[in-house]
Structure 1
């Protein structure tokens, strides 16, 4: 029996050395998870049950368990390299066949899909034309190369200080007569075709109430410096003696408490007629020089994709030549109740099994899912020093089991010689 016992020990030690050798060979493999040989003892079955003095008949390899501990994050500064800090796997698709990996070395194929070195496609959630991500079910992630459509300006946000020391202007307003307005400013807006236009705002100090000391300013507007918006002022602003804005009216003279709606603008170039609002909340009338303190609008021209980045939650943010940025999609991660149940497929891939359970798919940073770090990869979690020490131990085990067989052979030879 000692022959079979020693032989089982030799097989177990050999298998242990195989696992160690595989770990050492993959010490530089991105996303690799080291394996560990696990053993179990063997006892012969007895018809009437085992007694207290039963001798075992050797050992066997119970399984090879991979250790899914976190590997070191190595910075590469390569745009499409991704590392998972925490739990989870990248979800890869090969014509619909799904596999999972921790290797985040990705690139773009000729069709714009994000792929690994095997050509499998990274999956996630795509964004719609307005950047809203559809997180219903993961699909192959693709970076769109088309132009970003223009958006017509619909809102102007402006904040000014109007100089309270300015005199009341009694000259009839004309966009061509600088003497007919107190101050003016200009900003660019965009039509539905993405063409830019200059909208000029003119401020005319029209009156000061002798009783309340409230000052009223009329606001006019023009497009491209040639066409007045509306037949008269687009609105009025009234300030109290402390310089605060207390009331507004629109072009019809109706009181408004929020943004002023401008009369419809027709650019005359084939673009849609524009309807804009002008929000001048926070505008003041102090005894300081006139100054625009804030002047923004929400339109932009068309733009071409100039680059993209990944955020910690997996969102892919595209940047465009028109200075706009928009979400293009979001990387999906998957986790399992029992990662030890995953089946290794080679090429840094694992496949789900009945033992692993079904994948729990979500976004990075979600429940029990790690975050992403772009421009970095996760190194192998193999500890070379520990593996070399383990190799010495396995070698000693192999030698000791060989000695068991040698000793048994000597005993048998002695018996034969009797």
Structure 2
């Protein structure tokens, strides 16, 4: 009975939907996390009677036909790259991007990765790095005797060195943009990798047309809306229950046929 298989695809789709919602809720306090949304599409259709063909070879044409859908599948899990709210931390190396743009990070293998999370610090040699120790690009080294670091909205990094009154420029942060941000591959650890779907990175100075600005002393919060996620979770649960009812009904009908055969 096809209804069993069709309902099974619906239950599988809602299971994946719930997994996406669960990941959103789990990362509700993850810096710069972008929530995702599961998107579905119907499967192929089985034609019992084709529309538009002649009726029994006569001039009359079948107006509608009969097609039975075979279920649903997950088409995509779309990240929603909506700006999260900015939280004031007071940390001089906490940086947030207001608008479009990604920080550039060097992986241990030398590959350039991308991140929205700007919770940076310095390593033993004074280089600005991520919380996992990955070097921020372009490389910026903070002198040992620095008393204060200033990052402008355009990404200009200056350091006030002990014994001096005027800050000196020590580097320039740049941002990267992508034609299709949804095409980036999430690697975990707030890091992303470009793919053929995202297109290559286009770098620029913060504040330039198409690029966001840097806010020093702030972090971008997750854009997860708890109320929306709870509503989506309830909807997924109800849809799963309805599909399970279809399975029960189809199983009961199949059992009725089996009993008729026995009798």
Q: TM-score, normalised by structure 2?
A: 0.89
Alignment of 1:11-410 (within 5 A): 11-44=12-45, 52-95=65-108, 96-124=110-138, 140-145=139-144, 305-320=146-161, 321-410=163-252
Q: Which runs of 5+ in 2 are unaligned?
A: 52-63
Displacement of 1:49 in angstroms is 7.3
Per residue, is there more strand in 1 or in 2?
1
Distance (Å, rounded) in 2 between the aligned partners of 1:309 and 1:361: 22
SS at match of 2:231: helix
Distance (Å, rounded) in 2 between the aligned partners of 1:305 and 1:355: 42
Q: Which runs of 5+ in 1 are unaligned?
A: 125-139, 146-303
SS at match of 2:14: helix
Distance (Å, rounded) in 1 between the aligned partners of 2:168 and 2:42: 60
Displacement of 1:395 in angstroms is 0.2
SS at match of 1:54: strand
- Higher-Rg structure is 1
Displacement of 1:45 in angstroms is 6.2
Displacement of 1:332 in angstroms is 1.2
Indicate how the Cα distance of structure 1 residues 120 and 49 shifts in structure 2: closer, same or farther if over 3 A, else same.
farther
Structure 1 segments, 4+ long, off by >6 Å, are 48-51
Q: TM-score, normalised by structure 1?
A: 0.57
In structure 2, the partner of 1:5 is 6
Query: What do the CA deviations read for 1:10-39 (whole angstroms, capped 9, x no partner)?
Result: 000000000000000000000100010000
How large is the Cα RMSD of the aligned pairs?
1.7
Displacement of 1:44 in angstroms is 3.9
SS at match of 1:405: helix
The number of residue pairs the alignment matches comes to 245
